[in-house]
Amino acid sequence: MIQVEHVTKAYGPKRLFEDVTVAFTPGRRYGLTGPNGAGKSTFLKILAGDEEADHGQVARPRRVGVLRQDHFRFDERRIIDTVVMGNGPLWAALQEKDQLLARPEIDEAAGVRLGELETLIAEEDGYGAESAAAELLQGLGIPDAVHAQPLRTLAGGAKLRVLLAQALFGKPQALLLDEPTNHLDLDSIQWLTAFLRAYEGTLVVISHDRHFLNEVCTHVADIDYETIILYPGNYDDMVLAKAQVRSRVEAENADKQKKIAQLQDFVARFHAGTRASQVQSRIKQIEKLQLAELRRSNIQRPYVRFEQKRPSGKIALDVRGLSKAYGDLRVLRDVTFSVARGEKVAIVGRNGIGKTTLVKCLTSELPRDAGEVTWGYEASVGVLAQDHRQTIPDGTTVAGWLHALDPRAGNEEIRGLLGRMLFSGEEGLKPTEALSGGEAVRLLFAKLMLTKDNVLVLDEPTNHLDLESITALAEAVQRFEGTVLYVTHDRGLIDVATRIFSLGQDGFLDFRGTYAELVEKHGEAAARAR
Residues with Cβ within 8 Å of 462's Cβ and at least 6 positions away in sequence, in order, are 208, 470, 473, 488, 490, 493
Q: H or E stretch including 202?
A: strand 202-206
pLDDT at 383: 95
Query: Is 253 a residue whose pLDDT tops 80?
Result: no
Query: Is 376 a residue whose pLDDT tops 80?
Result: yes
Query: Is 56 a residue whose pLDDT tops 60?
Result: yes
Report the alpha-carbon distance of residue 385 to residue 265 in Å, rounded: 61
pLDDT at 482: 97
Q: Using alpha carbons, list the distances in angstroms from residue 175 to 2, 182, 200, 366, 367.
A: 10, 17, 10, 42, 45
In the sheet with 381-384, reading across from the earlier edge strand, the strands are 381-384, 455-459, 483-487, 344-349, 499-504, 507-511
pLDDT at 299: 65
Amino acid at 255: D
Report whether 385 contacts 463 (CB < 8 A). Answer: no
Q: How far is CA 151 from the centre of its chain?
A: 23
Give mean pLDDT, residues 234-251. Answer: 77
Report the alpha-carbon distance of residue 276 to residue 272 in Å, rounded: 8
Residues with Cβ within 8 Å of 307's Cβ and at least 6 positions away in sequence, in order, are 449, 452, 480, 481
pLDDT at 530: 44
Q: Work out the burial of residue 505: count CB atoms within 10 Å of its CB; fewer than 13 is exposed, 13-18 middle, 19 or more buried.
A: exposed
pLDDT band at residue 210 using 50, 70 and 90 as cut-offs: confident
Q: What is the CA radius of gyration of the chain?
A: 28
- Count the neighbouring beta carbons within 10 Å of the beta carbon of residue 456: 23
| Domain spans of the chain, in order of start | 2-237, 249-288, 315-529
The model's pLDDT over 135-183, given as tens digits with 9 standing for 90+, comes to 888 888 889 999 999 999 987 778 888 998 898 888 889 999 988 887 7
pLDDT at 444: 95
pTM, rounded to two decimals = 0.70
Print burial letters for 364-387: b (CB count within 10 Å at least 16), e (below 16): eeeebeebeeebbeebbbbbbbbe
For residue 1, the cross-strand partners are none
pLDDT at 529: 46
pLDDT at 180: 85
Q: 511-520: which pairs have CB atoms within 8 A and are 24 or more residues apart? A: 515/346, 515/348, 515/491
The model's pLDDT over 283-326, given as tens digits with 9 standing for 90+, comes to 777 777 766 555 556 567 899 999 999 999 999 999 999 999 99
pLDDT at 246: 62
| Class of domain 2-237 (CATH, top level) | alpha beta
Give mean pLDDT, residues 49-77. Answer: 88
Alpha helices in 336-405 (DSSP H): 355-362, 398-405
Closest CA to 337 of 138, 507, 139: 507
Report the alpha-carbon distance of residue 341 to residue 315 in Å, rounded: 6
Q: Using alpha carbons, list the distances in angstroms from residue 93 to 16, 128, 149.
A: 37, 14, 23
Fold agreement between 2-237 and 315-529: yes
The model's pLDDT over 188-200, given as tens digits with 9 standing for 90+, comes to 788 888 889 989 9
Highest mean predicted confidence (pLDDT) among 118-122, 261-265, 268-272: 118-122
Residues with Cβ within 8 Å of 457's Cβ and at least 6 positions away in sequence, in order, are 359, 362, 363, 381, 382, 383, 384, 484, 485, 486
Helix (H, G, I), strand (E, B) or coil at 384: strand
The CATH H-level superfamily of 315-529 is P-loop containing nucleotide triphosphate hydrolases (3.40.50.300)
DSSP state of 529: H
Query: Is 221 a residue whose pLDDT tops 60?
Result: yes
DSSP state of 295: P
pLDDT at 55: 94
Please provide the average confidence, as pLDDT, over all residues in the chain.
Answer: 88
Give mean pLDDT, residues 327-334. Answer: 90
Give mean pLDDT, residues 404-430. Answer: 90
Q: How far is CA 68 from the centre of its chain?
A: 13
Q: Could you tell me if residue 276 is left (phi over 0), alpha (psi between -120 and 50 degrees) or otherwise beta?
A: alpha
Report whether 129 contacts 87 (CB < 8 A). Answer: yes
